[in-house]
């Protein structure tokens, strides 16, 4: 690896001049600056991040902490965060907290010891990781006071429900994946807010009890709203096995737009998160925090987008307008 010294020696100038020329700081004549730039190029010179980090106290690295890297959203978030970070000149170090709360603390600790300049955290269910003296962007849900930026899950739930209401549905089954998840609770809350005045609904949590679709359908339910594509897939399967046509007899709505939604038939209608935008906001927030101390607006809620595909349709004529 070539160093700043090497260039300096080659050109008979001091290393400080090289540093100045390359960084644009200090005073260097355009002529020598150009000579230095050319030589640096020839040598394929790249400054040692390590040396710079030691001197400036900035590593140029951000940490990404997720409760569980196998979270279905992780791939997209990691990709978006990495892309946004790269654009901003940062690298991304990952840390898995293996699902446990203690490990979340350990993961943060590890990243901190590696000298990251900031943290992007998707908090572990029900925890509020406090990280002192380190810029941190929390991606969770607007109802979490610690939230920095996230999708507006409540609004997403409302949109999903409204879309089906607009199609003419009046009786709904809402199925959450995990009742301990604040995100999923917000989604359900959003759905309810849209339905409560115009229709009937019942809530199930699949980690507690999975509903009997036939019974529900017999009771008049024409649409199933879920908090995850994975749950929606299960609903689709159960419906098929029970002989309930989707979307003919039952409309099914997913959440998160996972790849499986395009593989299943009918393709899943779902609600998509703008992960790219969330990542960009998180990174620029961190960047502001790192580079100045100027306060930043907190609690950005990014709108979610409805993706209508084949699993939702108008309710069957026989059921239209029928309640309970």
Partner DNA sequence: CGCCCTTGATTTATCGATTAATCAAATCTG
Partner DNA sequence: CAGATTTGATTAATCGATAAATCAAGGGCG
Q: Enumerate binding residues for a copy of itself (CB under 8 A).
A: 46, 48-51, 53-54, 59-61, 64, 68-72, 74-76, 78-79, 82-83, 86, 91-96, 98, 110-111, 113-115, 230-231, 233-234, 236-238, 240-241, 258-260, 263-266
**Ranges within 35-94 binding DNA (CB under 7 A):** 45, 47-48, 50-52, 54-57
- Kindly state the smallest distance separating residue 302's Cβ from DNA, in Å: 35
Residue 188, classed as helix, strand or coil, is helix
Q: Is 269:252 a contact under the CB 8 Å cutoff? A: yes
What does 114 bind: DNA, a copy of itself, none (CB cut-off 5 to 8 Å by kind)? Answer: a copy of itself
Neighbours of 14 (CB within 10 A): 13
Structure tokens, 194: 């849209």
**Ranges within 159-188 binding DNA (CB under 7 A):** none
Q: Which listed residue (12, 24, 44, 89) binds DNA by CB under 7 A? A: 12
- Kindly state the smallest distance separating residue 57's Cβ from DNA, in Å: 7
- Kindly state the smallest distance separating residue 25's Cβ from DNA, in Å: 5
With CB under 7 A as the contact rule, which of the stretches 11-19, 172-180, 239-247, 265-273 interacts with DNA? 11-19
What backbone phi and psi angles, to 5 degrees, belong to 73?
A: -90, -15
Query: What is the DSSP track for 17-54?
Result: HHHHHHHT-S---HHHHHHHHHHHHHTT----HHHHHH
50 burial class (0-12, 13-18, 19+ CB within 10 angstroms)?
exposed
Distance (Å) of CA 236 to CA 92, 213, 225, 270, 310? 38, 10, 11, 13, 12
- Contacts to DNA by CB under 7 A: 1, 3-5, 12-17, 19-20, 22-23, 25-29, 31-33, 45, 47-48, 50-52, 54-57
């Amino acid at each position: 690896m070539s160093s700043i010294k090497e260039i300096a020696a080659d050109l008979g100038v001091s290393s400080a001049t090289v540093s100045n020329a390359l960084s644009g700081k200090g005073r260097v004549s355009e002529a020598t600056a150009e000579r230095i730039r050319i030589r640096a190029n020839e040598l394929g010179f790249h400054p040692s991040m390590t040396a710079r980090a030691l001197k400036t106290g900035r590593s140029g690295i951000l940490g990404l902490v997720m409760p569980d890297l196998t979270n279905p959203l992780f791939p997209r978030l990691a990709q978006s965060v990495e892309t946004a970070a790269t654009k901003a000149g940062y690298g991304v170090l990952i840390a898995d907290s293996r699902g446990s709360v203690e490990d979340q603390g350990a993961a943060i600790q590890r990243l901190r010891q590696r000298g990251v300049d900031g943290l992007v955290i998707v908090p572990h269910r029900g925890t509020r990781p406090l990280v002192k003296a380190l810029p941190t962007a929390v991606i969770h849900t607007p109802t979490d006071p610690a939230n920095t930026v996230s999708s507006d899950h409540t609004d997403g739930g409302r949109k999903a429900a409204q879309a089906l209401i607009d199609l003419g549905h009046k009786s709904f089954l809402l199925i959450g994946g995990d009742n301990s998840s604040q995100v999923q609770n917000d989604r359900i809350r959003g759905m309810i807010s849209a339905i409560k005045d115009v229709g009937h609904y019942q809530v199930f949590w699949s980690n507690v009890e999975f509903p009997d679709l036939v019974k529900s359908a017999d009771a008049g339910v024409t649409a199933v709203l879920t908090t995850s594509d994975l749950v929606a897939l299960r609903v689709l399967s159960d419906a098929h096995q029970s002989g309930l046509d989707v979307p003919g007899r039952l409309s099914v709505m997913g959440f998160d737009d996972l790849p499986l939604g395009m593989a299943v038939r009918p393709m899943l209608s779902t609600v998509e998160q703008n992960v790219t935008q969330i990542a960009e906001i998180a990174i620029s927030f961190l960047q502001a925090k790192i580079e100045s101390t100027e306060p930043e607006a907190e609690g950005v809620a990014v709108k979610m987008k409805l993706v209508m595909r084949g699993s939702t349709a108008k309710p069957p004529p026989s059921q239209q307008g029928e309640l309970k």
